[in-house]
Amino acid sequence: MDKQRIDEIFSGLGGNTIIILGDLMMDRYLWGEVHRISPEAPVPVVEVKNETVLLGGAANVAMNVHALGDLPCLIGVIGNDMRSETFRILLSDNGILGDGIVTDNSRPTTIKTRIIAHNQQVVRADHESVEEVNSAIEKEILNKIKENINSARGLIISDYGKGVITKSLLEKVIGLCRKKGIFIAVDPKDVHFKSYRHVSVITPNHHKAGFAYGKRIRNEEESKEVGWGLMKILDAESILITRGPEGMALFEKGEKLTFLPAVARKVYDVTGAGDTVISTFTSAVAAGAALPEAAYISNQAAGIVVGEVGTAQVKKEVLLKEIHRALKGNNNNG
């Protein structure tokens, strides 16, 4: 990668419609301090000083796409409850349209509550349903996709295993996108792994990839075995395995393999890093990047967000500045 090519890609970044289909949720954080142990049980007492509520799950993917200047079309399901009102307010406050959201009276709006003391997570409590949506809700979701597919440059499936992504929905959506020539990116969940066939890219971390293939990834050779094995099983165009401190590995058809070293200067929290990777990768492809170029750009974005506590997004200008800095450093070293 060089500065001229990066600038060329970034000139096309922004203004592209990206459909995000997946499990919608909120992330609630209670921030506080611990000074004593509870007399009721051997647990710390957190004195809460502040509270924040953020968009999470597929909604955080939409936030990432929006931060890069693209137009997220968010499609998913929420309940008919007080938390759904908060969810819609958060969408509006962040400039994200909620036209693609379906209300299901039979399920709660998902919220994950994390209690943080001295920048360390103490406990997490989840309000959610993981039951698969019924056929009527699935039909509504599919109709929302059909309404928006013609204007889309890409579709991201953000599967958190909360019931929105079903096997039958996957088959219909993937078939529709392939017919339309739409780039399909999947952030996978273990239970559906074998159903992500014929997608453009799938972005598991090394734990998910190893579990899906039946082999733990502990080194580069095992990463290759799992990556190429999954490519064959899924007949995917590409697989991007995120490997934590070991960076990323991009497998492409034609036996092309690219390893990218991790670039994070500090790691505080990996929450939402996968959302950033798939969002940036898809937006970069929509802007005209080749797959290895998109992997490079998303690797740089991930290196930024893991330096923040909680879900975070990278703005286009910040990402471009960081990549310029990295390229300058590489040139100086070379």
CA distances from 101 to 31, 145, 176, 238 (A): 30, 11, 19, 29
Count CA atoms closer than 13 A to 156's CA, side-chain side: 36
Q: Which is nearest to 157 in space by CA: 112, 118, 196, 107?
A: 196
**3 state DSSP class of 12:** coil
- 258 burial class (0-12, 13-18, 19+ CB within 10 angstroms)? middle
Of 104, 159, 187, 275, which one is the catalytic site residue?
275
Q: Which residues pair with 77 in a beta bridge?
A: 102
116/28 Cα distance (integer angstroms): 10
Let me know if 275 is a catalytic residue: yes
CB atoms within 10 A of CB 93: 9
62/75 Cα distance (integer angstroms): 10
Question: Are 302 and 273 within 8 A, CB to CB?
Answer: yes
Q: Which two tokens stand for residue 198?
A: 């014929």
49/44 Cα distance (integer angstroms): 15
Q: Which is nearest to 258 in space by CA: 286, 288, 220, 232?
A: 220
331/334 Cα distance (integer angstroms): 5
**3 state DSSP class of 106:** coil
Residues with a known catalytic role: 275
